[in-house]
Structure 1
Amino acid sequence: MRHKLLFSFLLMAFAMSSFAQTTESKYNAKEAFNPQFYPYPGTEFRSASGEPGPKYWQNRADYKISCAIDTSKHLVSGSEELTYTNNSPDNLKFLWLQLDQNIYREDSRGSATTTAAGGRWANTGFTDGAVIKSVSVEINGKKYTPKYTITDTRLQVWLQDGLKNAGKAKLNIEWSFTVPVYGTDRMGRLQTKNGWVYEIAQWFPRMCVYDDLQGWNVLPYVGQGEFYLEYGDIDFSVTAPSDMIVVGSGELLNPTECLSATEAKRYAEAKNSEKTVTIRSEEEVNKKIKTTKATNTWKFKIQNTRDVAWAASKAFVFDGAKINLPSGKKCMALSAYPIESIGNDGWERSTEFTKASIEHYSKKWFEFPYPAATNVAGIVGGMEYPGIVFCGYKAKGRGLWGVTDHEFGHSWFPMIVGSNERKYAWMDEGFNTFINDFSTEAFNNGEFFKPESGDAGKASFSERIDGLYTVPDAVQQRSLGVTAYYKPSQMLHALRDNVLGADRFDAAFREYVSRWAFKHPSPWDFFRTMENVGGEDLSWFWRGWVLNTWKIDQAVKGITYKENLPANGSAVTIENLEQMPMPVTVLVKEANGKEERITLPVEIWQRGNTYTFTLPTTSEIKEVKIDPDNKLPDWNRVNNVWTK
Structure 2
Amino acid sequence: MKLKASLFSALICTGLTAQNIQHNPGSNHGNKFEQLGSVLPTPNIYRTASGAPGHGYWQNRADYEISAYLDEDKRSLKGSETVTYHNNSPDDLDYIWLQLDENQQSSIKNADYDFSGTLTKVANDQKLRTTDLPTKDNGYGVNLEKVTDASGNPLKYVVNKTMMRIDLPKALKKGEKLVFKIDWNYNIPNRIAKGGRGGYENFPEDGNDLYTITQWYPRMCVYSDFQGWQNHQFTGRGEFALVFGNFKVSMNVPADHIVGGTGECKNYEQVLSSDQLSRYRKSQNADEPIEIVTLDEAKKAEKSHSKQRKTWVFEANDVRDFAWTSSRKFIWDGMKVLIPENNNKVMAMSFYPKEAYGLYRKFSTKAVAHTIKTYSEFTIPYPYPVAQSVEAANGMEYPMICFNFGRTEKDGTYSEGTKNGMIGVIIHEVGHNFFPMIINSDERQWSWMDEGLNTFVEYLTEEKWDNKFPSKRGPAWTIVDYMKLPKDQLEPIMTNSENITHFGPNAYAKPATGLNILRETIMGRELFDQAFKTYSKRWAFKHPEPADFFRTMEDASGEDLDWFWRGWFYGTDPVDIAIAKVTIATPDLEAIPKAEEVKYTVDKPIQNGFTDISKIRNKEDKNITFYVDKDKDLQDFYYRYDRGQEKVDTGKEYSFKVDNMTTLDPKDKEKFRNIAAYQIDFVNKGGLVMPIILEFTFEDGSKLYDKSSAQIWRHDEQKVSKTYYFDKKLKSVQLDPMRETADIDTSNNFWSNNGTATEMSKFEVFKQKQQGTVRGGSSGKVNPMQAAEKKN
TM-score (norm 1): 0.90
- The corresponding residue for 1:611 is 720
Asked if the contact 2:80–2:181 (Cα under 8 Å) also holds between the matched residues in 1, the reply is yes
Alignment of 1:251-270 (within 5 A): 251-270=264-283
Deviations along 1:602-621, one digit per CA (max 9) or x if unpaired, are 11101002222222222443
Which whole-Å CA distance do the structure 2 matches of 1:514 and 1:503 have between them?
Answer: 17
Asked if the contact 2:406–2:419 (Cα under 8 Å) also holds between the matched residues in 1, the reply is no
Asked if the contact 1:27–1:580 (Cα under 8 Å) also holds between the matched residues in 2, the reply is no
- The corresponding residue for 1:331 is 346
Deviations along 1:490-544, one digit per CA (max 9) or x if unpaired, are 1001111111100000001011111000111110000000010111111110011
Which whole-Å CA distance do the structure 2 matches of 1:190 and 1:298 have between them?
Answer: 21
Could you say what secondary structure the match of 1:227 adopts? coil
Deviation at 1:445, TM superposition (A): 6.1
Asked if the contact 1:184–1:223 (Cα under 8 Å) also holds between the matched residues in 2, the reply is no
Letter in 1 for 2:694: V
Which whole-Å CA distance do the structure 2 matches of 1:314 and 1:46 have between them?
Answer: 48
Deviations along 1:209-232, one digit per CA (max 9) or x if unpaired, are 000111011110111111110111
Which whole-Å CA distance do the structure 2 matches of 1:579 and 1:445 have between them?
Answer: 33
- The corresponding residue for 1:220 is 233
Asked if the contact 1:197–1:313 (Cα under 8 Å) also holds between the matched residues in 2, the reply is yes
Asked if the contact 2:293–2:333 (Cα under 8 Å) also holds between the matched residues in 1, the reply is yes
Deviation at 1:252, TM superposition (A): 0.8
Gaps of 5+ in 1: 1-25
Alignment of 1:502-581 (within 5 A): 502-562=525-585, 567-581=675-689
- The corresponding residue for 2:22 is none
Which whole-Å CA distance do the structure 2 matches of 1:110 and 1:292 have between them?
Answer: 38
Letter in 2 for 1:198: Y
Percent identity between matched residues is 35
Letter in 2 for 1:351: T
Deviation at 1:347, TM superposition (A): 4.6
Asked if the contact 1:306–1:415 (Cα under 8 Å) also holds between the matched residues in 2, the reply is yes
Q: Cα–Cα, structure 1 residues 446 and 298, in superposed 2: closer, same or farther, change >3 Å?
A: farther
Which whole-Å CA distance do the structure 2 matches of 1:73 and 1:619 have between them?
Answer: 81
Q: Cα–Cα, structure 1 residues 73 and 293, in superposed 2: closer, same or farther, change >3 Å?
A: closer
Farther off after superposition, 327-336 or 488-497:
327-336
Which whole-Å CA distance do the structure 2 matches of 1:522 and 1:75 have between them?
Answer: 37
- The corresponding residue for 2:76 is 75
1:474 paired to 2:499: yes
Asked if the contact 2:476–2:516 (Cα under 8 Å) also holds between the matched residues in 1, the reply is no
> Which structure is higher in helix share?
1
- The corresponding residue for 2:777 is none
Q: Cα–Cα, structure 1 residues 447 and 544, in superposed 2: closer, same or farther, change >3 Å?
A: closer
Deviation at 1:432, TM superposition (A): 1.1
Farther off after superposition, 27-36 or 367-376:
27-36
- The corresponding residue for 1:408 is 430
Q: Cα–Cα, structure 1 residues 30 and 443, in superposed 2: closer, same or farther, change >3 Å?
A: same
Asked if the contact 1:366–1:514 (Cα under 8 Å) also holds between the matched residues in 2, the reply is yes
Q: Cα–Cα, structure 1 residues 450 and 475, in superposed 2: closer, same or farther, change >3 Å?
A: closer
Q: Cα–Cα, structure 1 residues 157 and 543, in superposed 2: closer, same or farther, change >3 Å?
A: same
Larger-gyration structure (1/2): 2
Aligned with residue 730 of structure 2, among 601, 613, 621: 621
Aligned with residue 421 of structure 1, among 413, 422, 443: 443
1:43 paired to 2:47: no
Q: Cα–Cα, structure 1 residues 601 and 449, in superposed 2: closer, same or farther, change >3 Å?
A: closer
Letter in 2 for 1:387: M
Aligned with residue 189 of structure 1, among 178, 193, 200: 200
- The corresponding residue for 1:359 is 373
Which whole-Å CA distance do the structure 2 matches of 1:585 and 1:178 have between them?
Answer: 58
Deviations along 1:86-117, one digit per CA (max 9) or x if unpaired, are 11111000000000011111113446526979
- The corresponding residue for 1:95 is 96
Could you say what secondary structure the match of 2:574 adopts? coil
Deviation at 1:570, TM superposition (A): 2.8
Deviation at 1:584, TM superposition (A): 1.2
Aligned with residue 148 of structure 2, among 133, 136, 140: 136
Asked if the contact 1:113–1:222 (Cα under 8 Å) also holds between the matched residues in 2, the reply is no
Which whole-Å CA distance do the structure 2 matches of 1:328 and 1:80 have between them?
Answer: 34
Alignment length (residue pairs): 609
Deviations along 1:116-172, one digit per CA (max 9) or x if unpaired, are 799xxxx9994331111111124xxx7632210001001100011110101100111
Which whole-Å CA distance do the structure 2 matches of 1:310 and 1:400 have between them?
Answer: 20
Letter in 1 for 2:382: F
Asked if the contact 2:388–2:430 (Cα under 8 Å) also holds between the matched residues in 1, the reply is no
Letter in 2 for 1:69: L
Q: Cα–Cα, structure 1 residues 377 and 518, in superposed 2: closer, same or farther, change >3 Å?
A: same
Asked if the contact 2:103–2:110 (Cα under 8 Å) also holds between the matched residues in 1, the reply is no
Could you say what secondary structure the match of 2:235 adopts? coil
Deviations along 1:579-618, one digit per CA (max 9) or x if unpaired, are 2111111122333545331211111101002222222222
Could you say what secondary structure the match of 2:66 adopts? strand
1:455 paired to 2:498: no
Deviations along 1:421-473, one digit per CA (max 9) or x if unpaired, are 11111111111111111211212665666898643321231223332122111
Which whole-Å CA distance do the structure 2 matches of 1:181 and 1:281 have between them?
Answer: 27
CA RMSD of aligned residues (A): 2.5
Letter in 2 for 1:35: Q
Asked if the contact 2:156–2:167 (Cα under 8 Å) also holds between the matched residues in 1, the reply is yes
- The corresponding residue for 1:18 is none
Farther off after superposition, 436-445 or 598-607:
436-445
Q: Cα–Cα, structure 1 residues 452 and 134, in superposed 2: closer, same or farther, change >3 Å?
A: closer
Alignment of 1:275-286 (within 5 A): 275-286=288-299
Asked if the contact 1:569–1:618 (Cα under 8 Å) also holds between the matched residues in 2, the reply is no
Which whole-Å CA distance do the structure 2 matches of 1:305 and 1:247 have between them?
Answer: 16
Alignment of 1:65-464 (within 5 A): 65-110=66-111, 113=114, 126-138=138-150, 144-182=153-191, 184-192=195-203, 193-194=205-206, 195-288=208-301, 294-326=308-340, 327-343=342-358, 345-379=359-393, 381-392=394-405, 394=407, 396-443=418-465, 454-461=476-483, 462-463=485-486, 464=489
Could you say what secondary structure the match of 1:427 adopts? helix
Could you say what secondary structure the match of 1:414 adopts? coil
Asked if the contact 1:341–1:377 (Cα under 8 Å) also holds between the matched residues in 2, the reply is yes
Which whole-Å CA distance do the structure 2 matches of 1:548 and 1:637 have between them?
Answer: 21
Asked if the contact 2:473–2:513 (Cα under 8 Å) also holds between the matched residues in 1, the reply is no
Which whole-Å CA distance do the structure 2 matches of 1:62 and 1:444 have between them?
Answer: 41
Asked if the contact 2:254–2:306 (Cα under 8 Å) also holds between the matched residues in 1, the reply is no
Could you say what secondary structure the match of 1:29 adopts? coil
Deviation at 1:328, TM superposition (A): 1.9
Which whole-Å CA distance do the structure 1 matches of 2:362 and 2:475 have between them?
Answer: 33
Gaps of 5+ in 2: 1-25, 121-125, 128-136, 409-417, 589-673, 754-792
Q: Cα–Cα, structure 1 residues 497 and 250, in superposed 2: closer, same or farther, change >3 Å?
A: same
1:490 paired to 2:513: yes
- The corresponding residue for 1:7 is none
Deviations along 1:14-73, one digit per CA (max 9) or x if unpaired, are xxxxxxxxxxxx994322012353433321100100000001011101111111111111
Asked if the contact 1:189–1:378 (Cα under 8 Å) also holds between the matched residues in 2, the reply is no
Which whole-Å CA distance do the structure 1 matches of 2:162 and 2:714 have between them?
Answer: 48
Q: Cα–Cα, structure 1 residues 453 and 168, in superposed 2: closer, same or farther, change >3 Å?
A: closer
- The corresponding residue for 1:597 is 705
Farther off after superposition, 435-444 or 174-183:
435-444
Which whole-Å CA distance do the structure 2 matches of 1:254 and 1:446 have between them?
Answer: 43
- The corresponding residue for 2:612 is none
Q: Cα–Cα, structure 1 residues 445 and 173, in superposed 2: closer, same or farther, change >3 Å?
A: same
Asked if the contact 1:508–1:530 (Cα under 8 Å) also holds between the matched residues in 2, the reply is yes
